[in-house]
Chain A
Amino acid sequence: GNSVTQMEGPVTLSEEAFLTINCTYTATGYPSLFWYVQYPGEGLQLLLKATKADDKGSNKGFEATYRKETTSFHLEKGSVQVSDSAVYFCALSDRQTGANNLFFGTGTRLTVIP
């Protein structure tokens, strides 16, 4: 079946620190991979995505590379800001099933302190 395992939080970093949030997946077909972010009081927003192996998704200084050999899609940012404090969700979509529903990890709460 399809599942996503995500690094447990919470994660607390100082401003300008390097961020890594680990994500690994299990999929029956050829999934697309996503990172969604939920800022306090807001809905889920797509942060970045990758649709095939070796693709790199990037947005707002965040990056993640689709690694088929390690079934991973780790999120990284070189220098976090206080405004990056949020909950981050790794997710996959397996279009081979005929539907496009997303399978989410449990989320990682990031707090960045000045």
Chain B
Amino acid sequence: EAGVAQSPRYKIIEKRQSVAFWCNPISGHATLYWYQQILGQGPKLLIQFQNNGVVDDSQLPKDRFSAERLKGVDSTLKIQPAKLEDSAVYLCASSLDQGSASYEQYFGPGTRLTVT
């Protein structure tokens, strides 16, 4: 079974530029999560989708971050414009169903973003 795929793996941009990250969850997984992991900290949820609907985006800085999952499969996370403090690893995770006992989250390898 293929895991969660993310691209790119690394990205370096200057502040005020824009950037986009892509995630392809495990086939059949209804729930998709984006986490931000700043160096030395644990991952923090940015947004959670159930199919193509948003379940929780309370921690997403909506003035600069946006995310979509239009067809309920792939997802894109965008930052525009980027700030220095956005330097982090962006993790995508998926789970079979948020409401059932099968809610283990499977994580992708992450995208390491450096903003200079």
Contact = CB atoms under 8 A, between A and B. Distances in A.
> Do A and B interact with each other, yes or no?
yes
Interface string A72-111: 0000000000000000010101010111111111110000
A45 B105 CA distance: 9
A101 B3 CA distance: 19
Interface in A36-71: 36, 42-46, 49, 51
B31 A43 contact: no
B108 A46 contact: no
Interface residues of B, number: 27
A8 to B, nearest CB: 10
A106 B43 CA distance: 8
Interface residues on chain A, size class: 20 to 34
Contacts of A102: 35, 43, 45, 105
Contact of B103 (A4, A93, A106): A93
B14 interface: no
A34 to B, nearest CB: 9
Interface of A: 4, 6, 36, 42-46, 49, 51, 89, 91, 93, 95, 97-107
11 contacts: A4-B42, A42-B109, A44-B93, A89-B42, A91-B42, A93-B103, A100-B48, A102-B105, A103-B45, A104-B44, A105-B42
- List the 5 closest pairs (A to B, CB-CB), nearest first: A104-B42, A44-B107, A101-B45, A100-B98, A99-B56
